[in-house]
Amino acid sequence: MIGATKTKIKKPLGVFSLAMMNVIAVDSLRSLPIAALFGYALIFFYLLAALLFFIPTALVTAELATTWPSTGGAYIWIRTAFGARWGWFAIWLQWVYNVVWYPTILSFVIAAFAYLIDPQLMQHKIYLLSTILIIWWLVTALSCLGLRVSSWLSSIGALVGTLIPMLFMIVLAIIWIKTSHPLAIHFSYASFFPSLNNFNNLAFLTTIIFGLMGLEMSAVHAGDVRNPQQDFPRALFWSTNSILISLIMASLAIALIIPANQLSILSGLTEAYVAFFNSYHLSFFIPIIISLIIIGSLCSISTWVIGPTRGLLIATFESQIAGLNWLLKINRFGAPVGLLVFQGVLVSLLTSLFILIPSVTETYWLLSVMTAQLAVLFYFFLFLSALQLRYKEADRSRAYHIPGGKWGIWTVCIMGLVGCLITFILGFFPPSGIAVSNLLKFDKILLAGLLLFCLPPFICAGWALALKKIEKNNQAC
């Protein structure tokens, strides 16, 4: 069924489409206000995150995607390294961390939209919940139109809704400095290095690293790439440089204008634009730029909705677990509608946390951290599979391999694993800028959520084993 559908789909992805898919998947406007809270030290944190996570991920993805250029991406790599069960678990993690992430990016979109009407709307939870659900199901419906529409939205969203607002923010910050406006941060050698006196503030590093996750996502479409051995490394080179430079510059631009003690992690980006435009009496630009931000965020969601879902589709198909066949339904556009609807229901349920938890900001942070921690569990498998495959598949031809031989692959993977471990631990310590009503309760909900989202693959595996035993007993009788 899957193979038959695949033959009907032409290969629409080249270097530009892949690079734009990476940019729109990773280069999120949502992470800018959080990074801006660090001030000038945000450059240090981004460079640290790049060294411990972003660059290792890019190198590992380039090697694995060009060596196994088939549809399925990380699932194929981890399955080849550790077997089908762990491959299924890892791709489940990749899929489910996105399910938890969707309400946070949707709330960011709603915060931007509320600024166009009335910023106080963000305090009305019914408005927040209903608007998130409407937008989410519209995006899900668009994703049912298949990869070609998703690729088109990625390219449009990356240029119009992400890169242009970022570049515009950087240009406005340069004008702000040139016209001698007061700066909210000071540039000095001392301020470049963060103060470690308050350990809790290091928790923001969790979201900075999470803001750099996602480069491996485009590899799930490897079977739809015209020339994967050449196109993947080129696309990764251009996208990693573009992402890192644009995130640092745009975050710094916000930090220049809005003091850290006045910056909202939800609406900080729109606040910076409002401050810019009001200062230059250009308030008529505000709805235009906010509209672009909304477009970029929605295109980012669209990119992620279809990507991990295709990987999980292949893993579920290969698992042949009885009772999961309804998830395998594919429409005439090649979109996995069964999984998309199931995903839609889960996101709708998660969105109800905005009603159940008193503070919108606390809910937003809880979901952000839970997303990051589920994600790093997936990346543990990714880095370990790169190591395992270098030995297990040593004789396999590689169009690209990490430089330095075995020393190179070990160094890169250990750096990535260390970055993942730091991110996971820091998630349990909310930063001082986030008002958490009860730290113990916060960590309990976080742990419960992690366990809840990690259990389904093991339950399915247990169910499959039980069915096999029943079948054997019936045959014996």
pLDDT digits (tens, 9 = 90+) for 325-361: 666 677 777 777 888 888 888 888 888 877 776 677 7
Q: Provide the pLDDT for residue 361.
A: 75
* CATH code (residue 461): 1.20.1740.10
Q: Which residues touch 269 (CB under 8 Å, ≥6 apart)? A: 29, 32, 33, 112, 169, 254, 293
- The CA angle 31-440-213, to the nearest 5 degrees, is 25
How many Å apart are CA 428 and CA 442, to the nearest integer?
Answer: 8
Closest residue by Cα to residue 60 from 474, 459, 383: 383
Which amino acid, one-letter code, is at 58? Answer: A
Burial class of 354 by CB neighbour count within 10 A (0 to 12, 13 to 18, 19+):
buried
Q: Assess whether pLDDT exceeds 80 at residue 145.
A: no
Residue 65 structural domain: 2-476
Closest residue by Cα to residue 300 from 11, 49, 29, 74: 29
pLDDT level of residue 275 (50, 70, 90 thresholds): confident
Which of the residue ranges 41-55, 80-94, 215-229, 408-422 has the most confident prediction, judged by mean pLDDT? 408-422
Q: Provide the pLDDT for residue 219.
A: 65
- The CA angle 234-237-7, to the nearest 5 degrees, is 40
Burial class of 397 by CB neighbour count within 10 A (0 to 12, 13 to 18, 19+):
exposed
Average pLDDT estimate for 124-134: 83
Contact 107, 351 (CB under 8 A): no
Tokens of 474: 């019936």
Q: Running DSSP on this structure, what letter comes out for residue 13?
A: B
How many Å apart are CA 439 and CA 437, to the nearest integer?
Answer: 7
How many Å apart are CA 349 and CA 122, to the nearest integer?
Answer: 19
Q: Would you tell me how many other CB atoms lie within 10 Å of the CB of residue 194? A: 19
Instruction: Select the more confidently predicted residue: 438 or 300.
Output: 438
Q: Which residues touch 96 (CB under 8 Å, ≥6 apart)? A: 374, 453
Collapsing DSSP to helix, strand or coil, 321 comes out as coil
Q: Which residues touch 288 (CB under 8 Å, ≥6 apart)? A: none
Tokens of 414: 């250990």
Q: Provide the pLDDT for residue 67.
A: 85
Tokens of 424: 């996971």
Instruction: Select the more confidently predicted residue: 353 or 60.
Output: 60
Helix/strand number for the chain, H first, E second: 20, 0
Q: How many CA atoms lie within 13 A of 330 on its CB side?
A: 23
Q: What percent of the chain has pLDDT over 90?
A: 13
Instruction: Select the more confidently predicted residue: 20 or 453.
Output: 453
Q: Assess whether pLDDT exceeds 70 at residue 477.
A: no
- C-alpha to C-alpha distances, 79 to 116, 163, 218, 319, nearest whole angstrom: 47, 35, 18, 11
Tokens of 371: 């997303």
How many Å apart are CA 372 and CA 92, to the nearest integer?
Answer: 15
Bridge partners of 146, per DSSP, are: none
Total structural domains in the chain?
1
Average pLDDT estimate for 441-459: 87
How many Å apart are CA 234 and CA 200, to the nearest integer?
Answer: 38
- Residue ranges in 37-83 assigned as alpha helix (H): 42-49, 55-67, 74-82
pLDDT digits (tens, 9 = 90+) for 2-21: 444 444 445 556 778 778 77
Instruction: Select the more confidently predicted residue: 193 or 408.
Output: 408
Q: Provide the pLDDT for residue 3.
A: 44
**Backbone torsions φ then ψ of 179, nearest 5 degrees:** -90, 15
pLDDT digits (tens, 9 = 90+) for 462-476: 655 655 555 555 555
Give percent helix, percent strand, percent coil of the chain, each to the nearest 5: 80, 0, 20
Q: Provide the pLDDT for residue 418.
A: 94
Collapsing DSSP to helix, strand or coil, 210 comes out as helix
pTM as predicted? 0.80
pLDDT digits (tens, 9 = 90+) for 163-190: 788 888 888 889 888 888 888 888 888 7
Which amino acid, one-letter code, is at 3? Answer: G
Q: Which residues touch 471 (CB under 8 Å, ≥6 apart)? A: none
Q: Which residues touch 25 (CB under 8 Å, ≥6 apart)? A: 154, 214, 215, 217, 218, 300, 303, 304, 307
Contact 290, 112 (CB under 8 A): yes
Q: Assess whether pLDDT exceeds 90 at residue 415.
A: yes
Q: Running DSSP on this structure, what letter comes out for residue 225?
A: B
Burial class of 182 by CB neighbour count within 10 A (0 to 12, 13 to 18, 19+):
exposed
Helix axes of 268-279 and 164-178: crossing angle, nearest 10 degrees: 50
Tokens of 427: 């998630």
Residue 238 CA to chain centroid, in angstroms?
A: 18
